[in-house]
Amino acid sequence: MKKKDTILTVNGFKEEKFKEKGSRFIAQCFPISNEFEVSILLDEIRKKYYDATHHCYAYKLFEGTSKYSDDGEPSGTAGLRILNAIDHFLLTNTLIVVIRYFGGTKLGVGPLGKAYYNSASEVLKKANKISKTFYNKFFVTVNFSQISTVHHVININNVKLINTDYKDSVTFEILVRLNDIEIFKDKLIDELKDDVKINVENKTILI
């Protein structure tokens, strides 16, 4: 069974402002790649908007991690509704923070949840979105007589050649989609009759 190796995410920062019965909502979205980036962004936002009543957020990462916070709002009215908006747009590697300045009038649970959802939905509606693909980096080392064979295998597969290093032997630096790793490796071994050295970096690259 193939893994999902392509995601839809936001392409850069976007902000939208929303008002409801005197309360001001500032919705911001960010592309993210890990939880450390989230913690840095949240610290910066809390410092910048130190006088805000609430800093509610939700995020979702490619590997399945998701988290949300109501930050003092009634349970289920803020963070979860923000996450619902992320899911509605089928986004991952995305963080949304909705900053609220209380305007003196309580909205009630239903309208409050709608206000947070609308804030998140509006910023995502207007944000630029981009499809990105996960790759692994291959280093394929062969002798000079095999260069044309490697180029042939590269050309018939959905891979990206990013560098060629000529020394005593030739090393090709290649990006391979997650779902194509085994197919590409088997094809190289088959075409080069096992006379090839293949190293695969144990990390993924998102492009």
- Nearest by Cα to 172 from 135, 141, 205, 149: 141
Tokens (6 digits) for 195: 């006379």
pLDDT in tens, 143-163: 999 999 999 999 998 899 999
* Predicted local confidence at residue 120, as pLDDT: 97
Rg (CA), the chain: 23
Measured distance CA(160)–CA(178) in Å, rounded = 13
- Report pTM: 0.83
pLDDT in tens, 48-103: 999 999 999 999 998 889 999 999 999 999 999 999 999 999 999 999 999 999 98
Tokens (6 digits) for 123: 């910023």
> Is 46's pLDDT higher than 90?
yes
**Domains of the chain and CATH, by start:** 6-127 (3.30.230.30), 133-206 (3.30.70.240)
Tell me if 100 sits within 8 A of 137, measured CB to CB.
no
Q: Which residues of 94-206 form beta strands (DSSP E)?
A: 94-101, 129-142, 159-166, 170-177, 197-206
- Nearest by Cα to 46 from 54, 34, 36: 54
**3-class SS of residue 141:** strand
